[in-house]
Structure 1
Amino acid sequence: MTRTTVGRIGIIGVGEIGRAVVSGLCDGVGTPPEVFLSPRGERTAAELSARYEGVQVCADNQEVVDRSEAVIIAVRAQDRYEALAGLRVDDDRTVINVMSGVANDDLRQVLATDAALVRAIPLPSVRERRCVTVTFPSHPVADALFEQLGGTQPVADEAAFDVFSALTGTLTTHYAYLATLKSWAVGHGIAADAADRYLRGLFQGAGRALEDETRSLHRLAADHETPNGSNERIRTTWFGPANSEALGMALDDLLAHLRQPAAEGPS
């Protein structure tokens, strides 16, 4: 079977995710695709264009669409009406929607196009090509693009997509948890840089253990603690049933929010 390749990619809304996608596609790649950036996010777009030979900043969003096979829409959800107003998208394009909380039906109404629309959740780690990107629906162009960035995980419907989107909302909580551990250590007399260095090494090591997919997440937790040991003590006293239930309720609340109809734009 012939593998789908994407030679011309456009990005409308060049923020952190746009920067990560461009870096992942171009860093250390023998023949990177051509990438066309919108002027939105001017400073980042100019920086990427200067760094990578095949990256160009377009005059406007219409030029991005006209020059691309696949177009990533990465503007903030609340800015979509302004940013996409009047945009003409031919039916042979593939539009990849990475806006949080904006369903494909909503985006199709905004663009008034019959082009293929695919939702996706790329994370900043696509820059290292180590991120599995959830997509809906499965589409050969979008899936080929994200396979280059670490892998793709298509899901069956938009309801499942929303569950994965809610899981993504836990990312900064992980960093805040580490920052809290650091503050606790500093409060007990440890130098801030020493605590920071130790915690980064500790959890980078824990992250590498996740690469062993032969062990379940529960198995990994069990393998990293001994009966009545320090890890078991913290897990059972702090992350007990009440804490676990509270986390589940927070995720349920976020999921309900993601499934609400997106705010209407100007009539």
Structure 2
Amino acid sequence: MTSEEDMVKHIGIIGVGEIGGALVTGLRHGGGAAPEVFLSPRGARTAAELSDRHEGVRVCADNQEVVDRSGIVILAMRREQCREAMTGVHVGDDRILVNVMAGMGNDELRQTLGTRAPLVRAIPLPTVRERRSVTVVHPSHPEVDALFARLGGALPVTDEAAFDVLSALTGTLTTHYAYLATLASWAVGHGIAPDDADHYVRGLFQGVGRSLGDESRSLDRLAADHETPNGNNERIRTTWFDPANAEALAKALDGLLADLGQSRRR
């Protein structure tokens, strides 16, 4: 790689799971010039399917080839797989490594790889496939920021402690889905057909998602604007999501945050 422009034109992804696949889809769709993408042979079936589906996506013979062909290399495997996957792989100082492995700090990754290449942590979410994910990054790096800006937005933070706080928030995603499933199950228990309950709950909260796009209103303001005094929404909020419930959520997040910090410092 001879220039910054070449770097962003050649993206390598090692670890082609849910996030790796979403990154490929996001990078190759949505208009504009798309970078070439080089995939690890790990997860061979998924990698082959992505290569067949998208022009400009190639599966490499091994992880060294991914690194050699790419200016920016995204490490998207699980933390415990990193040492095995990268054993014997030389990462030149002219590459940029993007670490999306939960619980692995940049200091640990640098020690594992023995490289002086720039390292950037990131938290891409599955919605990068539709270019709708705001991705937290640390530290800020112009090429990496630009990469995630095209996938929905980059949110650089100043240190890994702040990174851990936002990482903890991502741990609430499946709780949200479980909450919606609980609502649908409650409706079914009161005689609503399962398909109808599922369809209605999805439609109800898709509307919430669209409201969140209005960044001119704070989250508290959005809640107030959707609530009538003494109405149904206020009743559920004050009787179910009461101070004790909110405190329990904060306590769970505090526990997760502490574990993320300990994991990073090992």
TM over 0.5: yes
Q: Identity of aligned pairs, percent?
A: 71
Q: 1:39-76: per-residue Cα shift (whole Å, max 9, x none)?
A: 01111100010011100000000000000000000011
Question: Residue type of the partner of 1:184?
Answer: W
How far apart are 1:5 and its partner, in Å?
7.1
- Given that 2:13 and 2:40 are in contact with CA atoms closer than 8 Å, whether structure 1 keeps it comes out as yes
How far apart are 1:100 and its partner, in Å?
0.4
Runs of 4+ in 1 over 4 A off after TM superposition: 2-5
Cα 1:3–1:43 change in 2 (3 A) is closer
- 1:27 counterpart residue number: 29
Query: Which of 123, 130, 152 is residue 154 of structure 2 equivalent to?
Result: 152
- 2:132 counterpart residue number: 130
Query: Which of 215, 229, 232 is residue 230 of structure 1 equivalent to?
Result: 232
Cα 1:166–1:158 change in 2 (3 A) is same
What TM-score results when the alignment is normalised by the length of structure 1?
0.96
How far apart are 1:113 and its partner, in Å?
0.2
How far apart are 1:166 and its partner, in Å?
0.1
- Quote the Cα distance in structure 2 between the aligned partners of 1:39 and 1:247: 40
- 1:188 counterpart residue number: 190
How far apart are 1:30 and its partner, in Å?
4.5
Relative to its length, the structure with more helix (as a share) is 2
Moved more, 79-88 or 2-11: 2-11
How far apart are 1:261 and its partner, in Å?
3.3
How far apart are 1:262 and its partner, in Å?
5.2
Q: 1:100-139: per-residue Cα shift (whole Å, max 9, x none)?
A: 0100000000110000000000000001101110000000
Aligned counterparts, 1:2-21, within 5 A: 6-21=8-23
- Quote the Cα distance in structure 2 between the aligned partners of 1:216 and 1:25: 31
Question: Residue type of the partner of 1:226?
Answer: T
Structure 1 unaligned segments of length 5 or more: list them: none
SS in structure 1 opposite 2:167? helix
What TM-score results when the alignment is normalised by the length of structure 2?
0.96
Cα 1:226–1:5 change in 2 (3 A) is farther
- Quote the Cα distance in structure 2 between the aligned partners of 1:140 and 1:79: 28
Root mean square deviation, CA, Å: 1.5
- Quote the Cα distance in structure 1 between the aligned partners of 2:230 and 2:153: 39
Structure 2 unaligned segments of length 5 or more: list them: none
- 2:43 counterpart residue number: 41
